[in-house]
Amino acid sequence: MRSAPFLSVVVPCFNEEQVLSATHPRLVAALAGTCPFEVIYVDDGSRDGTWEVLADLQQTDDRVRALRLSRNFGHQIAATAGLDAATGDAVVLIDADLQDPPEVIPAMVQRWREGYDVAYGRRLARDGESVFKLGTASAFYRIFNAVASIEAPLDTGDFRLLDRKVVDALGSMREGHRFLRGMVSWLGFRQIAVPYHRAARAAGHTHYPLRRMLRLAADGILSFSTLPLRLATFAGALACLAGMGGLLASAAMRIAGGAWPSATAAVLIAMAMMGGLQLLCLGIAGEYLGRIYVESCRRPLYALAERRGVAVDRAGRTPQPHLYRAG
Ligand code: UDP
Ligand code: MG
């Protein structure tokens, strides 16, 4: 079935002119001897000479494809544009800055040949990154797994190989706030980790300052968890219960022959009950909002891993359920 596989490598680039001339030769050298391939560079609205470098590369190497987005859409969207354009039987997603060593790709291809559908790079060590970035990244993966409805592998970025059926299934998920690694986990399929050592950036500087990291983290958690909404329900129920407890306690005290509680205590009890009730109602509205969010993502209901004795679509690929797609 995979006698002559073809590989696509997708490289999102934002202001990477300094590093691209080093990236391409290293990619090509690493891929030599694996299988025929194409490299799809996506210029994500760079403001430096990235596009000129890519256009030059495309002139000199016919395995290079170059896409230029109309403005900076962010890494996750740039990667999606590359995945949409990829024609390979498998697609590798890799950063342009050589932090993900291209030399790891053959190990991913090997796993794919063994029958795995997703081979994701797991970072064993990271050079050249601040203690703060390491700490926050590590905390994020752990919080994500604690609150999200799916389990994402720890210490794993977007550097990974995806089989064609995963790429097709991912292509049918058109949600705007994209958290690709979570979406791939959501899809399932046979996944395996490929450990590697994350290097320091070859040149240039990170485009993920704290603000963008927080946004990505929020996209990840909000896309796969309605827990934040549920917090209102919990808090409301708690306050309501406390108020009711106070009411019952004062009634019991009065029955036992004591006095009614002071005016202050009565006001506090009433406030806890009313405030709690309001939060509870907000939480219920939130539950519906959560459902509306999930529905509005228009994710496919499921993805197929295999099919026997069932018709094949025209491209000979697994038909994906587009039941809930717009348009
Ligand atoms: N990138 C992109 N668009 C952006 C930001 C980053 O395409 O708006 C690309 C960037 O060129 C690189 C990859 O995404 O290939 C990862 O970005 P970066 O190295 O800045 O992030 P870090 O590795 O520091 O998390
Ligand atoms: Mg980087």
Note the pLDDT tens digit of each residue in 134-193.
Answer: 888 888 888 888 888 888 888 889 999 999 999 999 999 998 889 999 999 999 999 999
Protein residue with least CA distance to atom 2, ligand 1: 75
CA 243, CA 247: separation in Å to the nearest integer? 6
Question: Minimal CA–CA distance to 59: which of 84, 76, 41?
Answer: 41
Q: What pLDDT, on the 0 to 100 scale, is given for residue 313?
A: 58
Protein residue with least CA distance to atom 6, ligand 1: 75
- Give tens-digit pLDDT for 183-231: 999 999 999 999 999 888 888 888 888 888 888 888 888 888 888 888 8
CATH number, domain with residue 85: 3.90.550.10
Task: pLDDT band for 312, please (50, 70, 90 cuts).
Answer: low
Residues 248 and 262 in one domain: yes
Residues 48 and 121 in one domain: yes
By three-state DSSP, how is residue 56 classified? helix
What are the angstrom distances between the C-alpha of 11 and each of 53, 146, 159, 163, 256?
Answer: 14, 31, 10, 17, 75
Residues 50 and 171 in one domain: yes
Q: In this structure, is residue 71 part of a structural domain?
A: yes
Residues 46 and 84 in one domain: yes
Whether pLDDT at 325 is above 50: no
Q: In this structure, is residue 102 part of a structural domain?
A: yes
- Tell me the average pLDDT of the chain: 88
Q: In this structure, is residue 1 part of a structural domain?
A: no
Ligand 1 atom at shortest distance from the alpha carbon of 78? 7
CA 125, CA 195: separation in Å to the nearest integer? 9
Residues 41 and 184 in one domain: yes
Beta bridge partners of 197: 125
255 or 127, which is more confident = 255
Write down the pTM of the prediction.
0.84
Q: In this structure, is residue 235 part of a structural domain?
A: yes
Ligand 1 atom at shortest distance from the alpha carbon of 129? 24
Residues 197 and 275 in one domain: no
> Distance between terminal CA atoms of the chain?
34
| Residue 198 CA to ligand 2 centre (angstroms) | 9
Burial of 256 (0-12, 13-18, 19+ CB in 10 A): exposed
Residues 72 and 123 in one domain: yes
Q: In this structure, is residue 216 part of a structural domain?
A: no
Residues 194 and 85 in one domain: yes
Whole domain around residue 288: which residue ranges?
227-297
Residues 67 and 200 in one domain: yes
Residue 52 identity (one-letter amino acid): E
Q: What is the mean pLDDT of residues 97-106?
A: 94
Site to probe by mutation for ligand 1, drawn from 97, 129, 132, 178 as the one with most ligand atoms within 8 Å of Cβ, is: 97
Q: Count how many domains the chain has.
A: 2
By three-state DSSP, how is residue 80 classified? helix
Q: In this structure, is residue 136 part of a structural domain?
A: yes
CA 149, CA 167: separation in Å to the nearest integer? 22
Q: In this structure, is residue 220 part of a structural domain?
A: no
Give the pocket of ligand 1 (CB within 6 Å).
12-14, 16, 44, 72, 74-75, 78, 95-97, 99, 206-208
Residues 67 and 77 in one domain: yes
Ligand 1 atom at shortest distance from the alpha carbon of 79? 7
Residues 56 and 162 in one domain: yes
Q: In this structure, is residue 213 part of a structural domain?
A: no
Residues 111 and 82 in one domain: yes
- Give tens-digit pLDDT for 40-56: 999 999 999 999 999 99
Residues near ion ligand 2 (Cβ under 5 Å):
95, 97, 99
Burial of 33 (0-12, 13-18, 19+ CB in 10 A): exposed
